[in-house]
Amino acid sequence: MTRRRPLDSVAAAVGNTPLVRIRHLASHLEGVQIHAKLELFNPGGSVKDRAALRMIRDAQADGRLRPGGTLIDSTSGNTGVAYAMLGAALGLRVSLVMPSNVTPARKHVARAYGAELIDSDPMEGSDGAIRLVRALVAKDPGRYFYPDQYSNPSNPLAHYLGTGPEIWEQTRGEVTHFVCGIGTSGTVMGTGRRLKELRPALQVLAVEPEEPMHGLEGLKHMPTSIVPAIYDESKLDGKLSISTDAGWDMAERLCREEGLPVGHSSGAAMAGALRVAESLAARGERGVVVTVFPDRADRYFPEPPPRRSPSPP
CATH code of residue 89: 3.40.50.1100
pLDDT score recorded for residue 313: 54
- Catalytic one of 154, 185, 225, 265: 265
pLDDT score recorded for residue 35: 98
pLDDT band at 77 (very low <50, low <70, confident <90, very high): confident
Q: What is the mean pLDDT of residues 9-20?
A: 96
- Alpha-carbon gap, residue 119 to 37, rounded angstroms: 31
72-88 burial: b if 16+ Cβ within 10 Å, else e: bbbbbbbbbbbbbbbbb
Type of residue numbered 147: P
* 104 and 168 belong to one structural domain: no
Residue 92 has pLDDT above 60, yes or no: yes
Question: What CA–CA distances, in Å, run from 247 to 54, 114, 200, 236?
Answer: 29, 32, 29, 21
Residue 304 has pLDDT above 60, yes or no: no
* 210 and 108 belong to one structural domain: no
pLDDT score recorded for residue 299: 75
Residue 33 has pLDDT above 90, yes or no: yes
Whether 77 is covered by a domain: the verdict is yes
Whether 289 is covered by a domain: the verdict is yes
Domain residue limits at 70: 48-145
Residue 4 has pLDDT above 60, yes or no: yes
Q: Which of 111, 145, 179 is the last residue of a domain?
A: 145
- CB-CB contact of 195 with 159 (8 Å): no
Question: What CA–CA distances, in Å, run from 105 to 63, 110, 300?
Answer: 33, 9, 7
Q: Which of 94, 122, 145 is the last residue of a domain?
A: 145
Average predicted confidence (pLDDT) for the chain: 93
Q: What is the DSSP string of 71-116?
A: EEEE-SSHHHHHHHHHHHHHT-EEEEEEETTS-HHHHHHHHHTT-E
pLDDT score recorded for residue 309: 54
- CB-CB contact of 109 with 301 (8 Å): no
pLDDT score recorded for residue 247: 97
Check if 48 is active-site: yes
Q: What percentage of the chain reaches a pLDDT higher than 90?
A: 81
Closest by CA to 108, choosing from 252, 310, 304, is: 304
Residue 57 has pLDDT above 60, yes or no: yes
pLDDT one-digit tens code per residue, 98-114: 988 887 888 899 999 99
Type of residue numbered 292: V
Q: What is the mean pLDDT of residues 131-139?
A: 95
The mean-pLDDT minimum among 85-89, 175-179, 277-281, 308-312 falls in: 308-312
pLDDT score recorded for residue 303: 59
Check if 234 is active-site: no
Q: Which residues contact 267 (CB under 8 A, 6 or more apart)?
A: 246, 247, 248, 249, 250, 251, 252, 253, 254
pLDDT band at 271 (very low <50, low <70, confident <90, very high): very high
- Catalytic one of 37, 48, 107, 220: 48
**Domain count of the fold of the chain:** 2
pLDDT band at 305 (very low <50, low <70, confident <90, very high): low
Whether 5 is covered by a domain: the verdict is no
pLDDT score recorded for residue 306: 57
Q: What is the mean pLDDT of residues 261-290?
A: 97
pLDDT score recorded for residue 218: 86
Residue 37 has pLDDT above 90, yes or no: yes
Question: What CA–CA distances, in Å, run from 293 to 46, 73, 101, 273?
Answer: 8, 23, 22, 11
* 99 and 223 belong to one structural domain: no
Q: What is the mean pLDDT of residues 179-208?
A: 98
Rg, Å, the chain Cα set:
19
Q: What is the mean pLDDT of residues 137-165?
A: 95
118-148 burial: b if 16+ Cβ within 10 Å, else e: bbbeeeebbbbbbebbeebbeeeeeebbbbb
